[in-house]
Amino acid sequence: MAEPREIDTGLDGFRLWPGALDPAAQAALLAEVRAAVAASPFYRPVTPGGRPFSVRMTNLGPLGWVSDRDGYRYQPTHPVTGQAWPAIPDILLDLWRDLTGRATPPDACLVNLYRDDAKMGLHQDRDEADLTAPVLSVSLGDTAMFRIGPASGGATRTFRLASGDICALTGPARLARHGIDRLLPGSSRLLDGGGRINLTLRVAGGAAGQTSR
């Protein structure tokens, strides 16, 4: 793969590589995700308050992020099937190594599926044991409007995340508040029926069984 080109986001620690995956690489990754999801299907989690997410989720790797009445946590099994999550594909492990430069590989990959008017409210990723390790995000399918602002609250900015774009929350942006306001329907033909898949790679390690909020 050609070395992806990083752009200056103007936000310290928020790294963005537009078009990091060309169409062939997007299709190859999607095929791997589809194969994994066949055994580990998307399901709709609920918030600790009992509200269903509009996004459907599954995970790859030794640990997966889940939300239910008991809170947010990482666990080794799918909450519906009870089976271990499928392995993280090598394509993603290679991207992690190349783009983050981290020796420690990710042990969790959350897979979000957005259809129709699914969105994700502003949140922080803070359920991981080591909050110095980055979170790397890969987008496939329809373009999303990604909102990001400081951990402390306050002004946010919006970036478009298109199919094949990769971004990362690192260093001073690791605990940034961020979310997906909406999709731009029809902006990609990668997914049958439209929509978007987002994959976020994390070092969750040691957080299994831990809950927050």
Interface with Fe ion by CB under 5 A: which residues?
125
Q: Which does 95 bind (CB under 5 to 8 A by kind): Fe ion, ligand MD6, none?
A: none
Please identify, using beta-carbon distances, which residue of 35 and 46 lies nearer to Fe ion. 46
Among 26, 90, 83, 24, residue whose Cα is nearest residue 59 = 83
Specify burial of residue 17 (Cβ count, 10 A radius: 0-12, 13-18, 19+). buried
| Cβ 23 to Fe ion shortest distance, Å | 26
Nearest CA-CA partner of 212 in 56, 27, 71, 92: 71
Instruction: Show contacts with ligand MD6 in window 39-78 (CB under 6 A).
Output: none
Residues that bind ligand MD6 (rule: CB under 6 A) add up to a total of: 14
In whole angstroms, give the CA distance from residue 153 to residue 140: 28
With CB under 5 to 8 Å by kind, the binding choice for 120 among Fe ion, ligand MD6, none is: ligand MD6
> CA 52, CA 166: separation in Å to the nearest integer?
27
As measured in angstroms, the least distance from the Cβ of 2 to ligand MD6 is 22
Q: Report which of 122, 109, 110 is spatially closest to residue 158, judged by C-alpha positions.
A: 122
For binding to ligand MD6 (CB under 6 A), which residues are involved? Answer: 112, 120, 125, 135, 137, 144, 146, 161, 167, 169, 178, 180, 198, 200
